Amino acid sequence: MSDAGPPMLPLTPTRWPADSAPFLRPAPSSGSLAWLTSAAALPVAAAGVVLFGRHGAIIMALSVATALLTNAILGYLTRRGGVIGTGHAVMTGLLLALTLPPHVDWGIPVVGALIAILVGKGLLGGYGNYLWSPVLVGRVGLQVLDPAAMLPASWPVLGRGRLLVGDLSNATDSSPFFAWRNANLPDGVDSWLLPRLDSLLAGTHDGLIHSGPPALRGERITSLADLLNDVLPPWGETLLGTVGGGFGETCALCIIVGGLYLIHRGLVRWQLPVALLLGAAVTAAVFPIASSWNEQGEVIGRMWLPGLTLEGHKPLGLVYVLYHLTTGELLLAAFFIATDIVSSPMRGRGQVVFGFGVGVLTICLRMLGIIPGAAYWAILILNPFVSLIDRLTRRRVFGV
């Protein structure tokens, strides 16, 4: 009788299926994450096409096509091929188009996508290692190269009966305009020229209206009631997107729907967008606005805590804060750009710190009128601190 045990089976590696681990759902790859983010942004893009017409669709197609072509050439030259991410290139081109004015020339999205892929993703660290979001690198690069095109005085929006099929270049001044749903276009005109509402809100810092219809420019805002009743359109217009702004910045409802989809799929943690919006809301509620002036027009008094303002039983301050949250680029930045997995903190606590900081800085930059596109610049300013935030917010292991 032999004392030898049973024969040993050969140890061969086994390839388990990706979905066999005991997880609620398999973690998405970086490529599928980019494709799903692009899918979540499609309702925003569709709203942009409806509000701004077919020219916006051409701008979007040019941006995506240029990003794809540049990405392929970059992959061939660096011998990395698909490693640098085709899906990421599509997402970058699409999100970049959503940040652009809807009536820019065709060369703008081409140059922007080139900057985003070559500089933002290629030169500044490569796919998965970049410090700043390539979308914002492309957008800010355009703002520096051609500020006139990126920062127009008025922004066109198609009027009633001309949605989708109208021509943005056939526009009229918005002097008779207040609410989109109640405004009738003159004969032979397709669109209104409207101000960005975040620019009107920034006017409360010094009490003067700096943009909008010529009849309003230079007028003094004496109270929040004046601003909300006589200058800004109804708040519901900001939800529908019938206000001045970028191609994908205006329709708050579609942005929120896309953002909730990303959170539901686990592609975005809720902490970052919620903290960003909370930081913006708190800052807008406490940032002082002009309330009195001397004979020379210099501000001599300011209203602190405007978010707590009441008129009778009407919470004017709350409405004022809501305008800040749903106008400009804030929502698009909160759900689709600040949440970039490479340039944002890894942990939930870090994302709270980062998001809150972006929200605070956005309102400060907006109200002081330092840099147009405040949310985009706020993200870029705080991106270099992401690694520090990760170190400071990591969980401490006992005894280490």
Residue 21 pLDDT more than 70? Answer: no
Residue 207 covered by a domain = no
Residue 209 covered by a domain = no
Residue 120 covered by a domain = yes
Residue 18 covered by a domain = no
Domains of the chain: total? 2
Q: Which residues contact 298 (CB under 8 A, 6 or more apart)?
A: none
247 and 380 inside one domain: yes
118 and 265 inside one domain: no
Residue 104 covered by a domain = yes
Question: Containing domain of residue 317, as a range?
Answer: 220-389
133 and 253 inside one domain: no
Final residue belonging to a domain, choices 94, 115, 150:
150
Tell me which of 221 and 335 has the higher pLDDT: 335
Tell me which of 13 and 110 has the higher pLDDT: 110
Final residue belonging to a domain, choices 127, 150, 173:
150
Residue 146 covered by a domain = yes
Question: Lowest-confidence range among 4-13, 48-57, 111-120, 259-268?
Answer: 4-13
Residue 137 covered by a domain = yes
233 and 347 inside one domain: yes
291 and 379 inside one domain: yes
> Average pLDDT in the 223-249 region?
86
Final residue belonging to a domain, choices 126, 150, 174:
150
264 and 344 inside one domain: yes
pLDDT at 350 (0 to 100): 93
pTM of the model: 0.86
pLDDT tens-digit profile of 262-315? Answer: 999 988 999 999 999 999 999 999 998 876 666 555 666 677 888 888 877 788
Q: Provide the mean pLDDT of the chain.
A: 83
132 and 235 inside one domain: no
Residue 5 covered by a domain = no
